[in-house]
Structure 1
Amino acid sequence: MSRWRPPSEKSSPYITAEGHARLKAEFEQLWRVRRPEVVRALSAAAAEGDRSENAEYQYRKKELREIDARLKYLTLRLEDVKIVEIKPSRDGKVFFGAWVELADEAGESRRYRIVGADETDSARGWISVDSPVARAVLGRAKGEIVKVRLPSGETEFEIVAVKYAED
């Protein structure tokens, strides 16, 4: 049995202005603060002698590799993303950046914000524009019923409200 998996689909390049600012802040913090700290600690650990049995040296090298990998990802992603700042002219329709309130068949209400793949946060209700729920509601208007295929099965939602500013 093979462990090979097909590559995942490339996520949408869209991002909100706030999300772009957060990615840039993360890049700056890693580059200007965290990486120099780790390099200093790595140099100090290397000065202690035998590197093959030096756990601190091994740990710091691993940490530096992880930071460099994240910096590389952020560099490429920041070049690729497109900031979406324009509020749609048609209020009431669901587009990128919208806060959407959905009611399921049982009448339970859920509130989501449609954001870029780099900004998703389930605790805040921020879902990726690439998610099944977001794909189902994009371009739809308040009052419409949408069918969404979820892991638990197909579900219907009614779009209760659409806003472009958080309450």
Structure 2
Amino acid sequence: MRQSDESQIDFRPFAPPLPPGRARVVPWATVMAGSLVTIVPVVASLPLLPPMGLIILLTWRLLARFSLRPWAGAPLGLFDDVVSGQPIGASMLLWSVVMIGIDLVEQRLIFRDFWQDWLIAAAAIIFCLTVGRLVALPLGAHVDSVLLAQIAMSILLFPLAARLVAWIDRKRGSAT
């Protein structure tokens, strides 16, 4: 058997793959679904809901590199701004800066493991939540302790989001 014949062997001949158009829509749909978590009515004494859209965006970008292009942060950030009630353009700018920053980090790192992905995601979450707080609230607002709790919860939620995105990526039939 030639080399090209071996690379085209399907090891799961009965598993139907998703059509290419639907496989490309899955990452976008999951980020948008993560952003829609903010409209779920939750009664809480502290607003500790993590930014699920951002976490899932970071997870897709770090685990499946080519599933979302670097420019995807702008339209997905606009959707998050509209749904979450943030000032229009805040998530667009912050998510775009984060996507460009991840590209710059990937150019420097030759190999990456999960711990480095978690550290990159933690830095991106801290950046987005801190700058988002400065944009959305006046400086005199006393929300810093709640912000720290939200940052900690968001960073600790990243491994769960990574498991979810890896499972979705495997189900969509992608080999990225």
- Greater C-alpha Rg: 1
| Greater length-normalized contact order (CA 8 Å, ≥ 6 residues apart) | 2
TM-score (norm 1): 0.25
TM-score (norm 2): 0.24
More helix by share: 2
